[in-house]
Structure 1
Amino acid sequence: MAASITTQAQELYVGSYNIRYQNDGDAKAGNAWQQRMPVLCGQILFEHPDIFGAQEVLESQRQDLLKQLTDYDCIGLGRDDGKHAGEHSNIFYDRNKIKLLDHGDFWLSETPEKPGLGWDAACVRICSWGYFKLKGTSLKFYYFNLHMDHVGTVARREGAKLVVQRIKEIAKGKPVVLTGDFNVDQTNEIYGIFTQSGVLDDSFEKAQFRFAENGTFNSWDPELKTASRIDHVFVSPAFTVQRYGVLTNTYWSEAPQQTDTVKGADAPQEINFQKHQKRLPSDHYPVFVRLTF
C-alpha cells in the first residue's frame, strides 16, 4: 500500500504548447488572440498539467495567461533583451503542486549568456529552464523549454548541441524534461542529437499509450493532416511515460452570412443547428504527457 502511494505521488503531468504570437495578420484572418485565448486557456485548465512549456509568448500574452490560469506562476525572459521584449519560452507551473528551486535562461547562439542571433538564425532564440520539486514527494527535476529557429539549419543543429551540453552541465544527471517547438520532425538528423544524447528519450516513442491522430503543426487549417511532430517532449530515460497525447481540439466562430437554422439528419427535431466556421486555438496542437518517476 505504501509503495503504491509513493508511485502515485510521483506522477507528473507535463506539456508543450506553441500558443502563436499575437499579430494583426492573424486577427484579420479571424484568428485574433483575444478570440482564441479563452479557448486555449480553457483547454489548459481542463487538462491542468502540473507544468508546461509555452512558446511564442509575448509579454501581453503572458499577462493574459496568468490572469486566466490562476493556479500558475511562470518563469522565462523575453528573448530580445533578456527582460520582457520579444517572444518568451515561458515555463508555467501549478504553484499548488510544484515548488520552484532555481531557474535561468540562455540563448541559442555562440554567446549564450546574452541576447543575440546565433549562427544562421532568422530570429533570436532562447531556452529557459527551472529546477523544481514536486510537493509532497522527493522528486526534484529540471525543466527546459525552447523554440528553435524556423530558418537556420546550422542554428538548429548547433543549438541542439548546446542544449544537450547545458542539460548535462546544469542537471548533472538529475531527472530532466525538455519541451518546445523544435522546427524539426522525428525524421530529421537534428532530432537525433537529442534522442542519441544518452540523456533524453522521445516521450512519444516511450509512451505506453498514445493518442496522436495528427502531427503537431496545423497551419491554421483543421482539415490538414501530417505525420510530422515538430513539438516534442523529451524526458530522462528514468521516467516512465504512461500517456502521450496530441490534442486537436477546435472551436467555432459564426460563419459570415450563415444565419439560417437547419435540422440535422436523423436527429431529434428539437435540435437546431447553425453553420459555423471551425477554428483552432493556435497553429500548433499542444502535446500533453503523463510521466511517473
Structure 2
Amino acid sequence: MKVLYFVFYLFSLLVIKNRPEEITVISYNIRYDNPDDGENQWSLRKEKVASYLRETQPDIVGMQEVLHHQLEYLNDVLDKFSYVGVGRDDGKTKGEYSPILYNSMNLKVEESNTFWLSETPEEISVGWDAALERICTYARFKDLTSGKQFWVFNTHFDHIGELARAASARLILRKIEKLNKMNIPVVITGDFNLTPDTEPIKILQNSFEDVLKDRAPSEKNYGTFTGFKKGETGLRRIDYIFNKGFQLETADHIWVKTAKGGWASDHHPVQATFLFKN
C-alpha cells in the first residue's frame, strides 16, 4: 500500500511539474436545489454539472446559488477539488453559498474569507435596498507549478435592489484595492443579475477586463440566462468573468446539457483561460 501511495505521489509531482503556466476559470450559477423545479430539479442535473467540471478540469470554479448539500455532493464526486466559502444566512452552512472550488492538485489557498454586500460587510446583513443577504467569497491562491499568486473574488448580486448592485460593485473594488497590496492578478466571477449596459457592470469594466465584452448580441451563444426554457439559448448576458493582471487566452459561454437534452442549469457557465504574464 505504501508503494502505491508513493507512486501516486510521484505521478502527482510530474503532473504539477509539467503543467503549463495557465489558469482556467469558470463562473457557474448551478441553480439552487428547488424541489418545485420538476424535470429540472437538482437530482436530475447534478451528475451533468459534475461531469462537465470533471471533463473540463478547471483550476477555479466560482459558483452561485449553491446550498450546502449541493456543495458537499460536488466536493465528494470531484476528488481533485476542494472549496472555500460559507452560507450567507449564518456565515456557516445555512443559505446559499458563493463558493470557490479549486483544483487542490494545482493550487494552494494562502488566505480566504467572505464578506456581506452591505454597509456592514463583516456582519451577516442585508445591504441597501437588497431583497436578501448577498455575499462575496474571496481567496488568494498560489500556483504549485510556478509559485505565482493570484486572487479570486466570487459573488452573486441582488436581483431586486438597484442601489445595492451599484454599491456592491464599488464595495468589491474597494476590498480588492485594500487586499491586493502585492499587485498580483485578480479575477472576479459571478452572477451579477445585470446586463452589460448597466451602471454596476460599467463600474467593473472601468477597472477590469470583461472577458466577453466584445461578444455581440447577434452571436449564437451571447447570453447566459435561459430560465430552463427549452430552445432558449440565452438572450441576457448576466454572468461574467472579470480579469486584471492575467493575459486572456480564450473565453466563451458553454452550453451544458443533461442526457435528456435539458439544460444542466438555468445559467450557462462562463469559461476563460488565462496566462501568467512574465
The TM-score range, normalised by the shorter chain, is: 0.7 to 0.9
- Which residue does 2:273 correspond to in 1? 290
Uncovered stretches (5+) of structure 1, i.e. residues with no partner: 1-5, 254-277
Specify the alignment match of 2:221 in structure 1. Answer: 213
Tell me, in whole angstroms, the C-alpha distance in 2 between the residues paired with 1:16 and 1:212. Answer: 19
Instruction: State the AA in 1 paired with 2:257.
Output: T
Number of the residue aligned with 1:266: none
- Aligned partners of 1:186 and 1:228 also within 8 Å: no
Is the partner of 2:213 in helix, strand or coil? helix
Retained in 1: the 8 A contact 2:226–2:267? yes
2-structure distance, mates of 1:71, 1:232:
25
Matched letter for residue 263 of structure 2: L
Counterparts of 1:222 and 1:97 in 2: how far apart (Å)? 37
Q: How does 1:1-293 map to 2 (within 5 A)?
A: 9-26=20-37, 29-172=38-181, 173-197=183-207, 200-205=208-213, 213-236=221-244, 238-253=245-260, 278-293=261-276
Aligned to 1:272: none
Q: TM-score, normalised by structure 2?
A: 0.88
Alignment root-mean-square deviation, CA: 1.9
Corresponding residue SS for 1:30: helix
Letter in 2 for 1:22: D
CA contact (8 A) 2:66 2:96 kept: yes
SS of the residue corresponding to residue 212 of structure 2 reads helix
Question: In the alignment, is the contact (CA less than 8 A) between 1:231 and 1:287 conserved in 2?
Answer: yes
**Matched residues, number:** 256
Task: Please give the secondary structure, in 1, of the residue aligned with 2:152.
Answer: strand
* Cα distance in 1 for residues equivalent to 2:172 and 2:230: 32
Distance 1:19 1:33, change over 3 A: same
Q: d(CA) in 2 for partners of 1:12 and 1:131?
A: 14
Pair 1:206–1:177, CA change in 2 (3 A): farther
Aligned residue identity for 1:279: G
- Contact preservation (8 Å) 1:14, 1:50: yes
Q: Residue 279 of structure 1 aligns to a residue in which SS?
A: coil
Aligned partner of residue 39 in structure 1, secondary structure: helix
Question: Is the 8 Å Cα contact of residues 244 and 289 (structure 1) preserved in structure 2?
Answer: yes
Does the 8 Å contact 1:220/1:282 carry over to 2?
A: yes
Q: d(CA) in 2 for partners of 1:154 and 1:31? A: 32
- Cα offsets for 1:235-271 (capped at 9, x unmatched): 10x3111111111121243xxxxxxxxxxxxxxxxxx
**TM-score, normalised on structure 1?**
0.83
Query: Could you say what secondary structure the match of 1:251 adopts?
Result: coil
Amino acid at match of 2:145: G
Find the structure with the greater CA-based Rg: 1
1:103 is aligned with what amino acid? S
Structure 2, unpaired ranges of 5+? 1-16
Runs of 4 or more off by more than 2 Å in structure 1?
225-228
Contact 1:115–1:124 (8 Å) recurs in 2 = yes
> Aligned equivalents of 2:220 and 2:144: distance in 1?
30
d(CA) in 2 for partners of 1:63 and 1:226? Answer: 29
**Contact kept in structure 2, 1:102 and 1:132, CA below 8 Å:** yes
Distance in 2 between the 1:282 and 1:122 partners?
Answer: 23
- Tell me by how many angstroms 1:222 deviates: 3.6
| Paired amino acid for 2:262 | R
